[in-house]
Amino acid sequence: MVASLAADIPAPALSAEAIERLRATDASPYRVFDRTEWSNLRADMPLTLTVEDLERLRSLNDPISLDEVIDIYLPLSRLLSMYVEATQGLFQVTSRFLGVRDGKVPFVIGIAGSVAVGKSTTARVLKALLSRWSSSPKVDLITTDGFLYPNAVLEREGLMRRKGFPESYDIPTLLRFLSDIKAGKANVSAPVYSHLVYDVVPGETVTIDRPDILILEGLNVLQTTRLPRDGTAVPFVSDFFDFSIYLDSEEPLLHQWYVERFMRLRETAFKSPQSYFHRYSKISADEALGIANDLWTNINLVNLRETIFPTRPRADLILHKGGRHQIETVRLRKL
C-alpha cells in the first residue's frame, strides 16, 4: 500500500465570523510590494543573464522576459544573498557554541504552486542567477516529480487520476533525501522522472554532492500533515527549507495557461511515439481541447483547491502573476 503520514488530530477550526474578524484586523504577516516598489530593491545587483539564456531556461508557454528578471528576480537574488549569508553566519556561531565542526550545510529553497503557473521557469532562472553570484556558489535543482510513485504503483492503488496529489508521492524517500542533504552528506541520490513517458525512470538517478544552495520545486512542497496524538515528531518537507516561494495566480488564468500548454504539447512533444500522451496528437483539436479541460477541472483544479492553494500562507515569499505570466505583486513575510 502507498505510505501515508496522515495522523488523526484535526486542526482546530475557526468559525466564519472569527475568520472575518481576523481579516479585519489587517494583521497580515506579509509586507506587500507592487512591481515598481519591488524592482527598486534591486540596488546594484548585476544582470548576468542574456536573452539567449532566458530562451534556454523558460518553460513552454511561459514567456518570461529580461524585464521580468530585472524587476522581480534580481531583487529576489539580492534578498536571497542576504539570507544565505545570515544563515551561514548563524550556523557558524551555533557550531562554535556547541563546540562541533559539522560540514557545510546547504541553504534549501522550496518553490511551490499550481500546475502551469511557471514554477519550473522560476526555479531555473533562480538557479542561473544564484550560481552567478561573485562567490560562485554551487547551486543544484531538484523537482519532486522524481519522488512520485511509479505508474505501476499508482495504477495498482487506483491513484492515476490523483497523480500530483500528496498521496501520490513517496514522502519517506523524499524526506530521507532532504535529511541527507541537510546533514551535509556527499553524493546523495534522487530518482529521475521523464515527462516524455510520464513516469519515474527505473534505475536512473541524479547525484547531488554538497551544494551551497539546493532548490526543490514541486506542487506540494509546503504541504503539512495532521499531527499524531502522542506528540511524536512528524517531519514535513518544508522543515528542511531555509526559504520558500509560492507562485500564485487566479484560477481562470491557470486554467487558460494549462489548456494552452496542453494544446502546444499536442503539436510538439506528444507527437513522439514514446510519449505517454502520444494518442492525444492523433485526435481532433476539439477532442483534445475537451480532454485538456477535463484534466484541468477534474484533477488539477481539485488538487489546487484541496492541497496546493491552502499552503500559500506558509511561504516566505508569494509571487502573484497576472495576465501574460507577469508578476504584479510580491508578498514578503515579515521577520
Q: What is the pLDDT of residue 114?
A: 98
> Is residue 264's pLDDT more than 50?
yes
- H or E element that contains 113: strand 107-113
Alpha carbons 208 and 116: distance in angstroms, whole number:
26
Tell me the per-residue pLDDT of 54-65, one tens digit each, with 9 for 90 and over: 888 887 677 889
Q: Please write the tens of the pLDDT for every residue from 83-98.
A: 999 998 998 898 889 9
Return the C-alpha cell found at 116.
502551469
What is the band of 267 on the pLDDT scale with cuts at 50, 70, 90?
very high
Pairing of the two strands 327-333 and 317-321: antiparallel
pLDDT-based confidence at residue 2 (cuts at 50, 70, 90):
very low
The predicted structure's pLDDT at residue 227: 75
Q: What domains can be seen in the chain, in order of their start residue?
A: 30-333 (3.40.50.300)
Question: Quick check: 23 pLDDT over 80?
Answer: no
Residues 6+ apart with CB under 8 A from 43: 78
The set of cell numbers assigned to 24 is 479585519
Distances (CA, A) of 142 to 139, 145, 216, 225, 291: 10, 9, 5, 22, 29
Q: The whole model's pTM is what?
A: 0.91
Tens of pLDDT, residue by residue over 122-137, are: 999 999 999 999 989 9
Question: Is residue 239 pLDDT above 60, yes or no?
Answer: yes
pLDDT tens-digit profile of 146-190?
Answer: 999 999 999 999 999 999 999 999 999 999 999 999 999 999 999
